[in-house]
Amino acid sequence: MNAPDVACRLCGSHTLIAVLTLGQQPLANQLVDTAGAAVAAKRFPLEVAFCPDCALLQITESVPPQDLFSDYLYFSSFSETMLRHAETIVEQLIRTRQLTAQHRVVEIASNDGYLLQYYRQHNIPVLGIEPAANVAAAARSERDIETLCEFFTADLAKKLAADGLCADVIHANNVLAHVPDLNGFADGLYTLLKPHGVAVIEVPYVKDLMDGCEFDTIYHEHLSYFALTPLNEMFSRHGLSIVDVEHLSMHGGSLRLFVQRKETATPNSSAAELLERERGWGVGEIGTYRAFAERVEASRNDLCALLNRCRAEGKRVAAYGAAAKGSTLLNYYGIGSDTIEFVADRSHHKQGKFMPGTGVPIVGPEALLESKPDYVLLLVWNFAEEVLRQQQTYRDGGGKFILPIPKLRIV
């Protein structure tokens, strides 16, 4: 079935093929102050389509970025895993690229300064670019990170370059999926990079998404879902070359790309080898993506059956992690406040609010020990190790976690 007449975000083709429909969904990160407002939240179609011309998986609906990111409740620093991940790559780059106070690092979608703070500790000049005003303000006030409250575009890159602010290192972690103008973004990277600079880009990997049935990472903020094949085409088109690629476990499976200007790049063999493997697993074949959609439907049936058994046995169920992926899962599965008593979350920015579409209240993690539900549905399964360690006291008291993805299990 052809998707609505929507042009591919990367190559402009009008041959998109619908793969998966997740129904009418609220904006996943728009948490509100009352249950009624949460249930009545405006909904938008959430449909995934595949481009057979460039192999980009993408959603067909584009919500204006200002509606998604102007006031944002995701703060990266609340995750110990994210902080460790950021510090490790910063230390690696300082060492391998011999960075000093004479260099400059820019991060696109810099959030609350969770990553750039580690460069600052080494007296390396930094600049954050973050469109969410409240998050950018936190980066400035809490970590003294110079932060522009803007969306990164080709025009902004030209302005920064004209002001002498080109970068030796550019970080762009988990932002490319949010970008409506992919070609403009790549053009901006080329402009902002110094001739021998490197852009370090992390994106969730579409093969891991499909293998792990990670459909809940699909929501309106995430416009695109990447294999290396379309990324390689995009960067090459804009004078950039992928010089190295790493496969990470972060966020259920991600790629970390090291990208440089073609005229100074010396690629190793990692990108070519991964491109060949992608051809082998069918990156450009529609059947690959239709098989994923079938697994999504089966996962819904399995989890709903488990929760129905819990209710029939009189067991109480809560959830953990008021993340965007949790909104997608709860709304697609039709799981609401009649099943989930509350969602616990460490972020005080989210506590006291309600999950969009379902109206489930968000509380602090201490509620697990106070209320003692029998089961907790782990919505942030990508941070399972961290959460299970933090909630060991609840588990020692007999509480159990339900991990819905990548494979349904109880721990």
Q: What is the pLDDT of residues 145-191, one digit of tens each?
A: 999 999 999 999 999 999 999 999 999 999 999 999 999 999 999 99
Lowest mean pLDDT segment, chosen from 85-94, 189-198, 245-254, 261-270: 245-254
Average pLDDT over residues 203-218: 95
Q: Are 153 and 181 in contact (CB under 8 A)?
A: yes
Round to whole Å and give the CA distance between 134 and 111.
9
**Predicted pLDDT at 69:** 65
Maximum separation of any 2 CA atoms in the chain, in Å: 66
Q: What is the pLDDT of residue 72?
A: 62
Report helix, strand or coil for 318.
Answer: strand
pLDDT tier at 67, thresholds 50, 70, 90: confident
Say how many C-beta atoms besides its own lie within 10 A of residue 120's C-beta.
Answer: 17
Q: At what angle do helices 270-281 and 228-237 cross, to 10 degrees?
A: 130
Nearest to 320, CA basis, from 253, 388, 370, 252: 388
User: Residue 68: which pLDDT band, with cuts at 50, 70 and 90?
Assistant: confident
**What per-residue confidence (pLDDT) applies to 389?**
95
Q: How far apart are CA 24 and CA 47, in angstroms?
A: 9
Residue 268: band (very low, low, confident or very high) from pLDDT cuts 50, 70, 90: very high
When pLDDT is cut at 50, 70 and 90, the band that residue 52 belongs to is very high
CA 118 to chain centre: 21
**What is the mean pLDDT of the segment spanning 213-229?**
95
Residue 280: the pLDDT is 97
Band (pLDDT 50/70/90 cuts) for residue 249 is confident
Cα 231 to Cα 224: distance, rounded to the nearest angstrom: 11
Q: What's the pLDDT band for 244 if we cut at 50, 70, 90?
A: very high
- pLDDT score, position 74: 66
**Can you give the pLDDT at residue 321?**
96
**Contact criterion met (CB below 8 Å) for 251 and 217:** yes
Mean pLDDT, the chain, integer:
94
Task: Give which of 206, 203, 194, 208 is closest to 257, Cα–Cα.
Answer: 203
Which ranges in 19-153 belong to alpha helices (H)?
35-39, 65-69, 80-96, 116-120, 133-143
Cis geometry, peptide bond prior to residue 131 (ω within 30 degrees of 0): no
Q: For position 265, what pLDDT does the model report?
A: 95
Element containing residue 245 per DSSP (H, E) = strand 240-248
**Which amino acid, one-letter code, is at 26?**
P
User: And the tokens for 32?
Assistant: 């509100």
Q: What is the full DSSP assignment across 4-38? A: SS---TTT--S--EEEEEEEEEE-TT--BSSHHHH
Sorting pLDDT into bands at 50, 70 and 90, what band is 228?
very high
Q: Tokens for 184?
A: 């403009």
Tell me the pLDDT band of 70, cut-offs 50, 70 and 90: low
Predicted local distance difference test score (pLDDT) of residue 248: 94
Q: Is the pLDDT of residue 4 over 60?
A: no
User: In this model, does residue 225 exceed pLDDT 80?
Assistant: yes
- Coil, helix or strand for 109? coil
The identity of residue 333, as a single letter, is Y
Whole-prediction pTM: 0.90
Is 220 in contact with 325 (CB distance < 8 Å)?
A: no
3-class DSSP state of 331: helix
Taking only the tens place, the pLDDT of each residue in 91-102 is: 999 999 999 999
Residue with tokens 């011309």: 53
Q: Does the structure show a pLDDT above 90 at 76?
A: no
pLDDT of residue 250: 83
**What is the tens place of the pLDDT at every residue in 284-299?**
999 999 999 999 999 9
Report the DSSP beta bridge partners of residue 401: 376
pLDDT tens-place string over residues 102-140: 999 999 999 999 999 999 999 999 999 999 999 999 999
Q: How many helices (H) and strands (E) does the chain have?
A: 15, 17
Per the CB < 8 A criterion, the answer to whether 337 and 359 are in contact is yes
Residue 206's alpha-carbon distances to 45, 46, 141, 308, 326, in angstroms, are 21, 17, 36, 31, 19
* Cross-strand partners of 256: 202, 246
What residues contact residue 293 under an 8 Å CB cut-off, 6+ apart? Answer: 19, 20, 48
- Buried (b) or exposed (e) across 343-374, using 16+ Cβ within 10 A? bbbbbebbbebbbbbbbbbbbbbebbeeeebe
